[in-house]
Chains A and B, each alone.
Chain A
Amino acid sequence: MNKTSTKKVSIFLNGLIKENPVLVLVLGTCPTLAMSTSVISAVAMGISATLVLVCSNIVISLLRNIIPDKVRIPSYIVIIAGFVTMVQMLLHAYLPSLYAMLGVYLALIVVNCIILGRAEMYASKNGVFNSLLDGLGMGLGFTLALFLMATIREVFGNASFAGIKIGFLENYKIAILTQAPGGFFVFGLLIAIVNKIGHNKTVKKKEFSCSGCPSASFCHKNLCEENTLEKEEKQHA
């Protein structure tokens, strides 16, 4: 019993730290860069994505033996899109200000590599409870990364935190952090820090980028730089 419970916890923690979808696997970069200008929108995006991820993981895991291999990807897309639309409608009705903040990026959760990637890589091969834990872990990891980026960008770029102004930083604002270049810069910095801290502990991107990417099944492994590098190495060997 102890072994299985530690295993369950490790599934959950996996998504949070070791295989953090944003900072380690580098998936779902679009909403990360766009929604991390303020803490509130970052947390809202993170929680919406987590909701969709958990629900779609559960449903896809439940249906994993019924969906034939040929229509795998379209079915996953329909299920994920269904949950995204549900979240859209509920937010629009009950939390319209958040809906306005998220804008088009809420609809873009449907093509978020994290969700389709997890569905393909984990939910279609594992039981319901494990898929739930995995979805929760990955989603919270996503939210954590977004929160981190948003904190840096909002505190140093706008001298506020979740809308509450921080007086003594007001004169030292670096406004560009809240705009487009700032997003790229902070993201790059964070990944560099994670690389430095992680070293050999975190999973090297090289081993996971293709299997984590939802287009892996059609891509023929021709495109991503890691694979062209491997191919070249093989040719020279």
Chain B
Amino acid sequence: MRKNIKSVLVLTIICLVVSCTLAVINFFTADIIKNTEQKAAFEECYNLITDAQSFTNIDISSLNLDEMITNVYKEETGKGFVFRINSSGFEDGLIVMCAIDMDGKIINTKVIQSNETPGYGKELEDLTNETTKTFLDSYIGKDSSLSGVIDKYSNASRTSEGFRKAINAAFKAFNQMKAVEAKEGVANE
């Protein structure tokens, strides 16, 4: 009996000590984590809309956006929206950011992160690669019909499909965001 009590006591104490240590570390790192993530996301937004003034991260939890959309950033001086999409190409986790201006035309797009095959789909992340630049630039200025964009990135057909899925999701979300803004505009009047 005594042995059992001692066992449980030791285990509980170990759990408590470990949890307290983690709580302390969490206290110090949680804010840093939040700020770095926010900063990194905003940095990408500024990369896409180069003459932007400031962005706000819109709370999309109550809107019914496609589940692929992880974040929506609104440019405060009316330059447009930036959408962060979690798509899947050959593998999951194909993170694409797409900036769309208020007329519904793409300002710029970028692949932030992916688990695609190195040397093939993963090259889409590398902006020093000429083929990648040409591929992504073909999307600039296009509207939701996407006529005239480069269809497939060579040797990475599934990654290209995932990218296209992401852009389509961005346009859908853009229309929804516009509708929300219009409703808010009417309510404010």
Interface on A for B, CB 8 Å cutoff? Answer: 37-38, 63, 66-68, 70-71, 74-75, 78-79, 81-82, 85-86, 89-90, 92-94, 96, 100, 154, 157-160, 173, 175, 178-179
Residues of B within 8 A of A154 (CB): 118
The one of B8, B18, B29, B40 that contacts A82, using a Cβ cutoff of 8 Å: B18
Interface size for B (C-beta < 8 A) is 25
A37 to chain B, nearest CB (A): 7
B68 to nearest A CB, angstroms?
18
Q: Is A71 a contact partner of B7 (Cβ separation < 8 A)?
A: yes
Complex alpha-carbon distance, A85 and B21, angstroms = 10
Among B9-17, B80-88, B178-186, the one that faces the other chain is: B9-17
Q: List 27 A-B contacts (CB under 8 A).
A: A38-B118, A67-B10, A68-B7, A70-B3, A70-B4, A74-B11, A75-B10, A75-B14, A79-B14, A81-B18, A82-B18, A85-B22, A86-B21, A89-B26, A89-B29, A90-B29, A93-B33, A94-B32, A154-B118, A157-B118, A158-B118, A158-B119, A173-B119, A175-B120, A178-B117, A178-B119, A179-B117
Residue in B7, B18, B29 whose beta carbon sits within 8 Å of that of A92 in the complex: B29
A81 vs B11: C-alpha distance when bound (angstroms): 14
Q: Are B37 and A71 in contact (CB under 8 A)?
A: no
Which residue of B10, B11, B14, B40 has the most chain A CB atoms within 10 A of its CB atom?
A: B14
Binding site for A on B (CB under 8 A): 3-4, 6-8, 10-11, 14-15, 18, 21-22, 25-26, 29, 32-33, 36-37, 40, 113, 117-120
Contacts of B8 in A (CB 8 A): 71
Decide: A93 near B118, CB < 8 A? Known: A68-B3, A70-B7, A75-B11. Answer: no
Report Cα–Cα, A157/B120, bound state, in Å.
11
B residues in contact with A82, CB < 8 Å: 18, 21-22
A-B contact count (CB 8 A): 70
What chain A residues lie within 8 Å of B117 (beta carbons)? 175, 178-179
Nearest opposing residue in chain B for A68, CB measure: B7
Chain B residues in 8 Å Cβ range of A89? 22, 25-26, 29, 33
Nearest first, the 7 closest Cβ-Cβ pairs linking A and B are: A82-B18, A93-B29, A158-B118, A93-B32, A68-B7, A71-B11, A158-B119
Give bound CA distance, A100 to B36, whole Å. 13
Contact assessment for B22 and A78 in the assembled complex, using a CB-CB cutoff below 8 Å:
no
Contact B119 A157 (CB under 8 A): yes
Contact between B119 and A90, CB atoms less than 8 A apart: no
List residues of chain A with CB within 8 A of the CB of B18. Answer: 78-79, 81-82
A71 touches B10 (CB 8 A): yes
**Cβ of B15: which chain A residues have Cβ within 8 Å of it?**
78
Query: With contacts A93-B32, A93-B33, A178-B118 known, is A78 near B25, CB below 8 A?
Result: no
Residues of A within 8 A of B21 (CB): 82, 86
Asked whether A92 and B33 contact (CB < 8 A) given A70-B7, A75-B11, A82-B22, the answer is yes
B11: which A residues are within 8 A, CB to CB? 71, 74-75, 78
On whether A96 and B118 interact (CB within 8 A), knowing A86-B25, A89-B29, the answer reads no
